[in-house]
Structure 1
């Protein structure tokens, strides 16, 4: 399984489908929290519960996904001879590809 990028890319593309949920949660927290405080975005006018509720909901989801992503990539990385400076950025981009595709096409 040396230098078989299709395994790493496929695993991360598959991980990218459920990654849409944690990416959306992080985006929602950023838009209604720190980015709105800096003036980069406008808060949702109906969002009056605060961000703490979303942090409590998002923290376990993001943590579980990040742990699962790391474990899958650790397993696949052992069987790949690519340099780490190439492997990890490619895996992150492959994981984020479904989220980017949804942002662009929907």
Structure 2
């Protein structure tokens, strides 16, 4: 069952639900970098330290969860990782799209 592409997509969709928080942090870092609010004058290092560390930890845990799945699927590695990124980002993209 794990050899099918839709199983990997489903698992990464489920992983995308708790990944909303770190992905939203990446969205916030990107939006702050481009157009910082006037009241956010603490510097970008505080944002990277405060938000970057949790994002890095969650990204590492996501990679550890997907590593054994990538070995068991029939997809090529590039296809698997692209599908995994797409599946994980769907809940966050839906929330960001809903908030605009």
Partner in structure 2 of residue 74 of structure 1: 67
Give TM-score, length-normalised by structure 2.
0.85
Deviations 1:65-92 (A, max 9, x none): 1111111111111221111221111110
* Preserved contact between residue 12 and residue 88 of structure 2 (Cα < 8 Å): yes
TM-score, structure 1 as length reference: 0.81
Q: Structure 2: where are the runs of 5+ without partners?
A: none
Query: Looking at CA atoms only, which structure, 1 or 2, has the larger radius of gyration?
Result: 1
2:25 is the alignment partner of 1:25: yes
Distance 1:93 1:16 in 2: 9
Task: Identify, as 1 or 2, the structure richer in helix.
Answer: 2
Q: Can you give the 5+ residue segments of structure 1 that lack an aligned partner in the other structure?
A: 36-41
CA distance in 2, matches of 1:50, 1:70: 30
3-state SS, counterpart of residue 49 of structure 1? coil
Q: RMSD of the TM alignment (CA)?
A: 1.6
Rate the CA distance shift 1:79–1:47 in 2: closer, same or farther, 3 A. Answer: same
How many residues were matched structurally? 99
